[in-house]
Amino acid sequence: MGEELGRITKPEAEKFQGKRKIYVVPLLFAGQEAPAEYLSKLSTYWMQASQQISRLEATAGMVKRIYHEAISEPGEEGLKIIEQLNPSSYQIANEKCDQDAVLEAVDDKELADELMDWERFMLSGFISQKVSNTVAQFYNEASKKRYEHMAKWVDETLQEGEAGLLFIRAGHTLQFPRDIEVFSVSPPALDEIHRWLRDRAAEQQEEQQSGTESSEEGL
């Protein structure tokens, strides 16, 4: 479980000296044709995330290594991919690289591609429960291998006393080595976004139900 950002005080900063730390940022995307209201909340989220990262650096240590989900190329090549994938996380990653941080190739492309393929199968739906269970099993196995690879890469590259910055989607099951202090970056706007998404999903469901009832009445 990550440390609570508000509980880190300057006197406590000494206890992090010599220890490995990682700051975990939930990776959120704009998406195609995203509503203006969502984009506004997303912009606030990334601004707050950047501020929280800066506060963590001031107390627990400057970011020396950057890890980003879906990035299997290090350095400049990896940054170019991030820029296309998520301009907001790119802005933070690029800023840290300008401050001498290093972008690591934390993800395994083959495992990530395999996971995406199994995910597409799962989203397509199945008639057979047996096929559904089989695909779910393959998906879980690929996911486990991918996160194990990421954890191993972090363990091998994050040096004693260094702080790393990880961008990864919420709901991940990545397990970090026990000697790494994990700090969860959780801006206030994150709760607002989750609430907005829940409300929007509920509205869409009500609209669908209303449309179904109207169609049945017309029969």
Which DSSP category does 32 fall into?
T
**Domain positions in the chain:** 33-204
Least confident residue range of 43-57, 64-78, 119-133, 163-177: 119-133
Higher pLDDT, 218 or 56: 56
- Can you give the pLDDT at residue 138? 83
Question: Given strand 20-26, what is the order of strands in its sheet?
Answer: 102-103, 63-68, 163-168, 20-26, 180-184
Name the nearest CA neighbour of 67 among 208, 2, 162: 162
| Token representation of residue 177 | 């080595």
Residue 175 CA: distances (Å) to CA of 74, 147, 159, 181: 22, 8, 17, 12
Assess whether pLDDT exceeds 90 at residue 16: no
